[in-house]
Amino acid sequence: MSVATQDTAVSTGRATRVLIYLILLLFALFYLLPLYVMGVNSLKPLEEITGGNMMALPGQWTLDPWRQAWSTAQIGVEPTGLKPYFLNSILMVVPAVAISTIVGALNGYVLTKWRFRGDTWVFGLMLFSCFIPFQIVLIPMAVVLGKLGLAGSVPGLILVHVVYGIGFTTLYFRNYYASFPTELIRAAQIDGAGFFRIFWRILLPVSGPIAVVSVIWQFTNIWNDFLFGVSFGGTSQPMTVALNNLVQSSTGVKEYNVHFAGAILAALPTLVVYIVAGRYFVRGLMAGSVKG
């Protein structure tokens, strides 16, 4: 027997509700399990891992694996830890995200508010770039970087990621600005504001949500990229490549605790970005698609 409630359109009984929460809880635990394993094992000495239960809490808590991973672990031939590579990644990611987002915003602005003959074609071609797999552009990109003298350097990697990211950022900003009233641009023109002034004073201040989307997307992709990093990184390889070198080394004892700590270190920046800006991410994604 069930009594229809007045406040919800679809009424659910108490039992159904408990079941739903239980299932959700199970999924959440299942989803968090890898993080738990990584966290727990990065805080125990190696013997505890090799000697037995991976799921158990540390018998003896220690931060040594983290210290090792950060500053003394053997990466390739040098015992530098992940620190220099982490810096490489930061030096690459920050400008690459900033440049690709700004260029994407400008593209979106031009493609919606300063229409020109053939603009839909230009946009279509830029969209096309979103569907090109990384592997296809490796050789042409290597040639271009070589000709520019940027091969094996951080600026080279920045260029690669900016070029590859512009398609996505342009798509985001174009769709967002498409619902921005053109009358505002016209009003600003009559008021005497020029191309960049309108962009800077009228459009950018309301672009927060979509800028967050673009930054999160670009940050995650560029930070997590391995292929471009290993192909064009040269002496300034990013964090992902270093992590691979740490984990995949075939000499000596496998220090799982250090590997776990290193993996968390490599994932940390993207996690922070998501936690800080996550709710804007969803809001921004919606804002682009549905007016309101």
Partner 1 sequence: MGFLDIRNVTKSYGQVEVLHRVDIAVEEGEFLVLVGPSGCGKSTLLNMIAGLEGISAGEIAIKGRVVNGVHPSKRNIAMVFQSYALYPNMTVGQNMTFGLEMHGVPKPDRDRALAEVAKLLQIDHLLDRKPGQLSGGQRQRVAMGRALVRNPDVFLFDEPLSNLDAKLRVDMRTEIKKLHQKLRTTIVYVTHDQIEAMTLSTRIAVMNKGFVQQLGSPKEIYDTPANVFVATFMGSPAMNIVPATVVMENGTAHAALTDAEGQVQRLRFSQDLRAWEGKPILLGIRPEAITDPEGADRKSGNIQSLRNRVTVTEPAGADTFVTMTVSGRDAIARMRADANVAAGQVFDFAVNMEKAVAFDPETEQRIA
Burial (CB count within 10 angstroms: exposed 0-12, middle 13-18, buried 19+), residue 217: buried
Residue type for position 160 = V
Residue type for position 62 = T
Residue closer to partner 1 (CB basis): 197 or 279: 197
Name the minimum Å distance from CB 179 to partner 1: 13
A 10 A CB-CB count for 241 gives 23
- Please give the Cα distance from 6 to 192 (Å, whole number): 55
Name the minimum Å distance from CB 185 to partner 1: 9
Residue type for position 291 = K
Residue closer to partner 1 (CB basis): 127 or 188: 188
Name the minimum Å distance from CB 197 to partner 1: 7
Nearest in space to 280 (alpha carbons), one of 223, 211, 221, 178: 211
Name the minimum Å distance from CB 214 to partner 1: 19
Residue closer to partner 1 (CB basis): 61 or 116: 116
- Please give the Cα distance from 135 to 161 (Å, whole number): 14
Name the minimum Å distance from CB 125 to partner 1: 24
Name the minimum Å distance from CB 210 to partner 1: 14
Task: Identify the DSSP state of 206.
Answer: G
Residue closer to partner 1 (CB basis): 189 or 270: 189
Residue closer to partner 1 (CB basis): 185 or 222: 185
Kindly report the CA angle at 233 between 232 and 236, in degrees rounded to 5? Answer: 155
Name the minimum Å distance from CB 204 to partner 1: 9
Nearest in space to 262 (alpha carbons), one of 93, 68, 77, 84: 68
Residue closer to partner 1 (CB basis): 186 or 279: 186
Name the minimum Å distance from CB 287 to partner 1: 13
Asked if 42 and 257 touch (Cβ cutoff 8 Å), the reply is yes
**Chain position carrying tokens 């839909």:** 120
Phi, psi dihedrals of residue 57, rounded to the nearest 5°: -70, 155
Residue closer to partner 1 (CB basis): 128 or 200: 200
- Please give the Cα distance from 212 to 206 (Å, whole number): 12
Residue closer to partner 1 (CB basis): 113 or 161: 113
Binding region for partner 1 (CB under 8 A): 181, 183-184, 186-193, 197, 201-202, 205-206
The phi-psi region of residue 74 (left if phi > 0; otherwise alpha if psi is between -120 and 50; otherwise beta) is beta
Strands (E), the chain: none
